[in-house]
Every structure is written in C-alpha cells, then in structure tokens.
Chains A and B, each alone.
Chain A
Amino acid sequence: MQPAPDSALVERMITGDESALVAVYDRYAAMIFGMLVRMLRDRQAAEEILQDLFFELWRGAARFDASRGSLPAWLMVIARNRALSRLRKREYREFSENIDAFPANAIASPVVLEDEAERSLLMGKMRVAMASLPSEQREAVELAYFEGMTQSEIAARTGSPLGTVKSRVRAGMQSLRRIFDDGTTRQSGRS
C-alpha cells in the first residue's frame, strides 16, 4: 500500500485533521529526534524542540506548499537551526536562513522520504557515507553539522590550520554530495 503523500497530509492538516499531523509525526519524528539527540545529547531538550517543530508545522500548514518542496528536509533544517540555537545559546540571523524567515517551500527537488523503505535506504547510505569519510574529514564535517561550528571554530577546536580544515570540510561535503547526485534517491520527475 502506497503511503499517503506528504502533500496530502499537509492538506488534511490545513482542514484541521489531527490524524494527518499524527501521520506526519509518526513518519518523521524518530528521524528528526535522532538528529536532535545527536546534536544536543539531551533527550528532554530534543523532545521540546521536536514538539515545538510539529506544533509550528500544524499552525503553519497553510503556508507550506508540499508539492513544491520537501517536508522532511524543511523539518530537518528548522530542527537543526533550533538545536544549534539552543546549543550555542544564540539565535542565528544569517542571510536568508533566519529561522523565522526561512521559506517553508524553499527546498526544491525533494528527496522521497514518504516511503519507509526509501527513508531507511537513504539513512543507511548517509551513515555509510559519513562513516567512510577519512577521520579528519568526518570530524570536521560532524563538528560543522552537529555542533554548528564554522571552519575557523573547527580549526581552533582541533588545532589544525584553517586552510587544512577548509580542505577537509570541502572534501567531505563533496563526498556526501555524490549520494544525492547518483540519481537513486531523487525523483527527477518531481518539481
């Protein structure tokens, strides 16, 4: 049986259908919560952010055009921003990526995560790809992603020259990008 598309669930949320929110939560909560716990190392803080995230999705469902964007990617972006804000005890106010100003449907070409099997496949690939990075690259990428460190901060943390850190981060991101470019997890027909 085909899972209900995210776009259909969002439409149902707009009409006040709580079961649609439950379906979205059941679909993506564990995935997002895993990331939050990895970042915060605090389950209670992670649960607070998770609850806020889905509550805002419920309240802002009418503004989300799921047919034009990836709901799980949007949820992951916002969840990560929230976690970094809490982790670093400051709000990010960067260009076009301010949490509040970030458009919900800005993420085009959605990766298909509605299906449990596809989701599991992509998660497995991401883990393998991350684990297969050279340790220095992996450390640099993980410090950037899970702790929100800039390249300069990573250099200070690791004691490595800034240029070396930049090379490691760029090389690591190039390797990870190949996962998204191999065509197996992206549906080119969706726009």
Chain B
Amino acid sequence: MMERHVNPEDPDLYALRALDGEEKQAFEAHVRACPACAAELDAARERVALMGLAAPVAAPAAGVKDALLRRVRAEGAGASGQASPLRAPARPRRMAWLTPVLAAATVAFASLAVWLWARNAAYLRQIDSLQAQLATVQTQSQEIARTAADTDKLLGMPGTVRVGLKPMTGMHDGRVGVLYNAQMGMVSCAGWLPAAPPKKSYQLWLVPMKGKPMSLRVFSGEWNEPMAMHVPAGMEAKAFAVTEEPLGGMPSPTGPMVMEGAGE
C-alpha cells in the first residue's frame, strides 16, 4: 500500500501552531513515524520562525544588554563551557539572591566613594586654606621675631628714646608707644589703633627736627601688632604723630592729627 503523507501545508501550519483538534493529532502521529515529514517539519520551523522578520525591527533598551552581561558574570566563569541543558529555568535562581546584595553593595560603595571624594576635596581645600594661613602666620611670626629682636636692640642701646602718643581731641581710643634710636635709624612701635573712619586711613609720622614729616606706616584697619622700621640714620626726631588721611595715606600730612607724642 502506498504510504500517505500529510498535506504539503501541514508542516508549516503545525509550526505556525495553527493546527488544532484532529488535524493536529493526526499530523503528530504521522510525523512520529515518518522521517521525511519530520525533516519537512524542521524546514517548516525555520520558515515560520523567520516570518517574525516581517515585524518592524526595534532596538531594546541598552540596559538589557548590560543586565544580560551582569547575569553572565554572576553566573560565573566556565558555566558556558558546560553542557548545561537548554531547558534551564527562564531565570537562574542559583545566584538570584546575590543580585540585590551586589546591587546594594554597589550603591553603598558608590555612595561611600562619592562621600570620600567629597570629604577628600573638602580636606584638600582645608589644607590649602591652612597652608595659606600658615604662610601668613609664619610671615607674621618672622616679622614679630624681627621686631622683638630690633626692640631688644633698641632697649639696650644708648640714645634710644621712648615716645608715648596720646589721643588728641576726637580720638577716643588708641594707644601707641614708640622706641626710636636716631643713630641706629630704627623705630619700633607697639600698641593698638581702631579702624579709621570709612574711606580714611590713619598714618604714623616721624616729625624730624628739620625737614618734612616722614611717613612710617599707613593703617587701613584696626592695628595691634608690634612693628619695627628702619629710617635714615642720624635723623633726629622732634615728635611722632598720627593723622587721619584719605584712604591709603598721603606723602605729607594733610588731615587732622589724632595722636601725638614727643620724646621723653
């Protein structure tokens, strides 16, 4: 008896999943026993599978590939080389618990890194500020040390005069003491002065026996640091004075005298 095969379209319809009922059962029964139709079914699967190409191409989100690679790495090296069955569960549960842990750890480490980075940046800024302050303090310390050394010299030298400046009318605060040695050409000052009025400066003058007053220092703000200065040697001082001048000082006194003192 001639062997009766299935209808030529049946493999495609079966692969398409369009057959049902008795047609489906009959086809399956025949293919089990017919290698030729089984081979035809394999070819039909390919054709039907590729019918999906009729759908518009769409790009999955980039995160899908990233997530895939994370799963692959979590699975562990060597897993792909084993003959693991294709019937593996849709999602691997073996390492599933690790995913949230790794995610949480990643977030925690990322947060820690950001926090450390911010703290490091803050520390670096603080170090820069402290270094600047240190440089200023070192400069001030050197000046104070030099002033102290100069003052010591002045105090021990004959011919050093002491001058105490007293506030004049309108000057309520301030105290300035001066050590001066004409032969050494050295002046040392200590005391304090308030900040000058707005847009004004206080200016300290040496008033010589002869000639014009010589500017020793302009105070733009409050002053309370000792200072030492060199002046031309041999200049005899008649007095020391503080005047109120335009901001930044003047070559010669122009404003009112707010403090004044003569040698003792």
Contacts and interface: CB of A to CB of B under 8 A. Distances in A.
B9 A170 contact: yes
Interface stretch (B51-59, B118-126, B205-213, B218-226): B51-59
Interface string B1-34: 0000000010011011111110010001001100
Contacts of A169: 13, 16, 18
A50 B60 contact: yes
B58 A30 contact: yes
B91 A35 contact: no
A106 interface: yes
B42 A62 contact: no
Contacts of A122: 50, 53
B58 A34 contact: yes
B80 interface: yes
A43 to B, nearest CB: 8
A100 B53 CA distance: 23
Contacts of B90: 52, 56, 82
B53 A145 contact: no
Interface string A84-122: 100000001011110111101011111100000000001
Interface residues of B, number: 60
B88 A60 contact: yes
A176 B47 contact: yes
B58 A151 contact: no
Nearest to B72: A58
A187 interface: no
A76 B9 contact: no
Contacts of A55: 68, 71-72, 75, 92
B85 interface: yes
B91 A62 contact: no
Given A29-B60, A38-B56, A100-B87, A18 B45 contact: no
Contact of A61 (B15, B38, B80): B80
A88 B154 CA distance: 105
13 contacts: A30-B60, A31-B52, A31-B57, A34-B55, A47-B60, A50-B64, A51-B68, A55-B92, A59-B92, A76-B52, A122-B50, A144-B18, A176-B51
Contacts of A18: 69, 72-73
